Structure 1
Amino acid sequence: MAVVASAPGKVLMTGGYLVLEKPNAGLVLSTNARFYAIVKPIYEEIKPDSWAWSWTDVKLTSPQLLRESIYKLSLKNQSLQSVSPSQSRNPFVERAVEYCVAAASAKFVDKDNKNALHRLLLQGLDITILGCNEFYSYRSQIEARGLPLTSESLASLPPFSSITFNDEESLGKNCKPEVAKTGLGSSAAMTAAVVAALLNYLGVVNLSLLTGDQEQRGSADLDLVHIIAQSAHCIAQGKVGSGFDVSSAVYGSQRYVRFSPEVLSSAQAAKNGIPIEEVIVDILNQKWDHERTKFSLPPLMTLVLGEPGVGGSSTPSMVGAVKKWQKSDPQRSLDTWKKLSEGNSELETQLNTLSKLAAEHWDAYKYIINSCCKLTSEKWIHQATEPNQQAIIKALLGARNAMLQIRHHMRLMGEAAGVPIEPDSQTKLLDATMNMEGVLLAGVPGAGGFDAVFAVTLGDSTSNVIKSWSSLDILALLVREDPRGVALESGDPRTNAITSAVSSVHI
């Protein structure tokens, strides 16, 4: 029986760079762009002689990249050996498979469970991964088809379209072809989906309990998915990042403070030949001290993303440059971080205030949002006639000012570190966007650079922003906030037309 799990992509609204260090928080929104993993047996029944085998088969298919990789999995020490050409390797899925099988092996102590796991593994693991179109840039396909650069053109592409490569060979460089991405965290969403599907398939967790109140039911299972996905993702990446992308892929929208990197020291040392199962037992026994608090956008606000068409940026190299600057100019960098931290806290406070005001004074809140969505921000102040309305306007303008402060210090940090955190072209675009009617704020998510920009719009103003972006050659993506984390799906997304949810986003 196939198990299908999905996990969302993310937008880091605040906390770029700072979220790498405790106790700085990041506000991260999960989105309706999801990665899917389908896990089923390769063989329907076990061959009679297979009990003597010490290995089993693993097949990984990525239809969008037209790739298939074959592996042998050692049943003795859970390690994967590739039997495919090396260019089709996927380290994220490879680590996910090893760690999930090791976790199952460690969790099942009695003989019956161990035998059932052994039988299941002998049937082989057939894994298929699929990412929503929103993770990738299809600008060149839209242009090649002679279609306008609009959300409608994006929506007309078939779900899970194949991803064309940026061909570096033609430039005389023998580089590995890179997929143009939109910066939604595809590797984290993919890893979380694969881990969730595998752990569920192997019987280690039961994610069907997640319907209803997620916090109470199945939360221990979610925590296990998070720890395994976080570990696999860090080790595959070759460094211990902040982990906000994996956390939001597992739990959904949240306020996040990172875990202590030491919890993964045994996994990092595993290269020295410590058995994978021992490493996993150690990781599961560690004190995972990350913090996450519920957070999502206040009501009647919409997250919109626009792709400027300059291609994504390399987060690791930008982070490296910022860290180097921190070492070389500790006093100035400390000052910048303090101001950024203040701006981030202020934005969080104002958004939480707006959510609270919406809950307590819904009519006043709705009236103000619907009035302000037709006006530029300097005219908002004139919309309030009574105290509740004034409090709402004050929080809206407070959120805007906090965002302007964050952007200012991010730009200064980029200039000092010599990396384009908010490049001039993005500054012009963001300024123009923040001056549009009904726009609360706009920014470059995460580490910044040339990835898609985001805006938060009020009420019905989204369609006007999308039209204005289109005239500036900015392609509005079909991405919206969806606060859900990992979930089990009822079937193969290609036959379920789950993307109808994305396609029917109100354009």
Structure 2
Amino acid sequence: MRAFSAPGKALLAGGYLVLDPKYESFVIALSARMHAVVTSVKNPGLKDETNIHIKSSQFNHNEWNYIASKVRGFAPKEIDGKSNPFIEYTIINVCNYFFDIEADDNDITIEIFSDEEYHSKENTKVMKNTYKSFRFHDKDIQDVPKTGLGSSAGLVTVLTTALSSIFCKNLDISQHQHQRLIHNLAQIAHCQAQGKIGSGFDVAAATYGSIVYRRFFPDIISDLPKISTDDLDKYHTALRAVVDNSDWKMTATPTNLPKGFKLIMGDVNTGSETVKLVQKVKSWYNENLPSSLNVYKSIDSNNMKIIKLCQDLHILEKTNPTYYNDLLEGLSKGKIQNFKELQEFQNAVSEIRKNFRLITEQSGADIEPAVQTELLDNCCKLKGVLTGVIPGAGGFDAIALVASQDTDIALETKDLKEFQNVTWMKLRQANCGLSEEDSDHYRDLKSEC
């Protein structure tokens, strides 16, 4: 038995531009994690087939049973007629990558868990043990609102890792080559499951943690042949070549918020359809060139200012600790105007938001809708809060604030009408990406009632 976890994400700087390989983005990994616990046995009755049982008892009817075999190119068949593309493409790609490796066990069970911050907490009960605590829902997973932290990317990443560990007994996700293996397999499966080739920042953050990210070129995945049982060799041979290709032209440079700063996220309990937002913005961009390119250039310039300011603050904390401590105290007391670094950070985010409001107005895509503008502006008036954004594609997903480490956002907003629809999430910046966990920590979950 082995267990793995991967963090959620918040795209702090880089919304929409992250889709283009020429732009860099700033992605914060979150303490909320997706988990996979894998067990396996040898079942002589299965002969040349592999039974893969995926379940998540946190949701109603959240269970899938697949039969996969080399004869069908590992195209999984769900015995109850259910469909989950994220699970199915993960099985297809992991099994095809390890096509020539005979696993010791052929009856595999993978239990999926998600930390409570990924979904609405309405109508839930807490199940916990000494080590872990999870919320169990009384609905199917598709009927539970999500908060936009990257649950599908986290699912595919931990599922890829758990299944790979059956074929690769020495899998060590602290090693770069094994991280890259998981990342590349998960990126391919996630793109195929979505029916499109996305930016991949969510899978990259799930694997590597907080990063400055530049996406891979889409054709590395789009050039893969179609999965077909008529030519079993063609797909797994091409897949192996793509996954093992070190030249994805992607960068994922480790980073984090400077010392003394923290990320705060607030759920507005609505959520957005990212695909529809992206389609509207793409149409607006193509129909409004070259002025739309100038808008993107302005956003990129300010994104880079944020990345550079974080780097400069890291250096400042070491080279001039006295000034840096004064800066943190100034942020805590709301004296941002006394420190040019804080003003520059705040101004850069303000310019980005202004451009996204322009795109919202011109494209019809609710990147920063008026109600979110009002909420963010109110948040930025709070003592200790430097700035705030709607991360990623924007819309009605959870908001993200950059604040002083000692800011107590729940206390500051308690009983204030303008924050009555916000649930402050128990989140922090994650220290790592993909991680191996102690499988014993998931046993004997019991109701806290």
Give me the TM-score of the superposition, normalised by structure 1: 0.81
Structure 1 residue runs of 5 or longer lacking an equivalent are: 109-113, 146-157, 167-175, 211-217, 382-392, 498-507
Asked whether the equivalents of residues 231 and 267 of structure 1 are also in contact (C-alpha less than 8 Å), the reply is no
The answer to whether residue 425 in structure 2 is matched with residue 477 in structure 1 is yes
Match of 1:254 in 2: 211
Structure 2 residue runs of 5 or longer lacking an equivalent are: 126-131
Asked whether the equivalents of residues 304 and 462 of structure 1 are also in contact (C-alpha less than 8 Å), the reply is no
**Counterparts of 2:94 and 2:108, CA distance in 1:** 12
The answer to whether residue 43 in structure 2 is matched with residue 58 in structure 1 is no
Of residues 102, 105, 109, the one that matches 1:126 is: 109
From the superposition, tell whether residues 164 and 274 of structure 1 become closer, same or farther in structure 2 (CA, over 3 Å). farther
Amino acid of the structure 2 residue aligned with 1:161: R
Match of 2:395 in 1: 449
Match of 2:437 in 1: 489
Percent of paired sites with the same residue:
29
Of residues 384, 409, 413, the one that matches 1:467 is: 413
Summarize the alignment of residues 18-33 of structure 1 with structure 2, pairs less than 5 Å apart.
18-33=17-32
Asked whether the equivalents of residues 253 and 482 of structure 1 are also in contact (C-alpha less than 8 Å), the reply is yes
**Counterparts of 1:126 and 1:469, CA distance in 2:** 46
Match of 1:500 in 2: none
From the superposition, tell whether residues 356 and 134 of structure 1 become closer, same or farther in structure 2 (CA, over 3 Å). same
The answer to whether residue 282 in structure 2 is matched with residue 323 in structure 1 is yes
The answer to whether residue 184 in structure 2 is matched with residue 201 in structure 1 is no
Give me the TM-score of the superposition, normalised by structure 2: 0.90
Match of 2:342 in 1: 396
From the superposition, tell whether residues 273 and 427 of structure 1 become closer, same or farther in structure 2 (CA, over 3 Å). farther
**Counterparts of 1:426 and 1:493, CA distance in 2:** 39
Amino acid of the structure 2 residue aligned with 1:120: D
Of residues 357, 365, 369, the one that matches 1:419 is: 365
Asked whether the equivalents of residues 344 and 402 of structure 1 are also in contact (C-alpha less than 8 Å), the reply is yes
CA RMSD between the two structures: 2.3
3-state secondary structure, aligned to 1:125: strand
3-state secondary structure, aligned to 1:160: strand
The answer to whether residue 323 in structure 2 is matched with residue 347 in structure 1 is no
The answer to whether residue 45 in structure 2 is matched with residue 72 in structure 1 is no
- The list of structure 1 runs, each at least 4 consecutive aligned residues, that deviate by more than 4 angstroms after superposition, is 271-274, 468-471
From the superposition, tell whether residues 127 and 408 of structure 1 become closer, same or farther in structure 2 (CA, over 3 Å). same
**Counterparts of 1:272 and 1:202, CA distance in 2:** 22
**Counterparts of 1:491 and 1:9, CA distance in 2:** 20
Q: 1:141 Cα deviation (Å)?
A: 3.5
Q: 1:274 Cα deviation (Å)?
A: 4.5
User: 483-492 vs 276-285, which deviates more?
Assistant: 276-285
Amino acid of the structure 1 residue aligned with 2:262: T
From the superposition, tell whether residues 406 and 205 of structure 1 become closer, same or farther in structure 2 (CA, over 3 Å). farther
Asked whether the equivalents of residues 255 and 293 of structure 1 are also in contact (C-alpha less than 8 Å), the reply is yes
Amino acid of the structure 2 residue aligned with 1:452: A
Q: 1:163 Cα deviation (Å)?
A: 3.1
The answer to whether residue 147 in structure 2 is matched with residue 182 in structure 1 is yes
**Counterparts of 1:141 and 1:272, CA distance in 2:** 44
Match of 1:99 in 2: 93
The answer to whether residue 78 in structure 2 is matched with residue 82 in structure 1 is yes
Q: 1:427 Cα deviation (Å)?
A: 0.3
Q: 1:228 Cα deviation (Å)?
A: 0.4
Q: 1:285 Cα deviation (Å)?
A: 4.3
Question: How many residues are matched?
Answer: 433
Asked whether the equivalents of residues 430 and 442 of structure 1 are also in contact (C-alpha less than 8 Å), the reply is yes
From the superposition, tell whether residues 406 and 468 of structure 1 become closer, same or farther in structure 2 (CA, over 3 Å). farther
Amino acid of the structure 2 residue aligned with 1:351: C
Amino acid of the structure 1 residue aligned with 2:176: S
Match of 2:135 in 1: 161
Q: 1:199 Cα deviation (Å)?
A: 1.4
Amino acid of the structure 2 residue aligned with 1:185: G
Larger Rg over CA atoms: 1
From the superposition, tell whether residues 459 and 55 of structure 1 become closer, same or farther in structure 2 (CA, over 3 Å). closer
Of residues 210, 220, 230, the one that matches 1:263 is: 220
Of residues 304, 310, 328, the one that matches 1:369 is: 328
The answer to whether residue 243 in structure 2 is matched with residue 295 in structure 1 is no
**Counterparts of 1:164 and 1:127, CA distance in 2:** 21
TM-superposition CA deviations, 1:262-285 (whole Å, max 9, x none): 111243633695434224223224
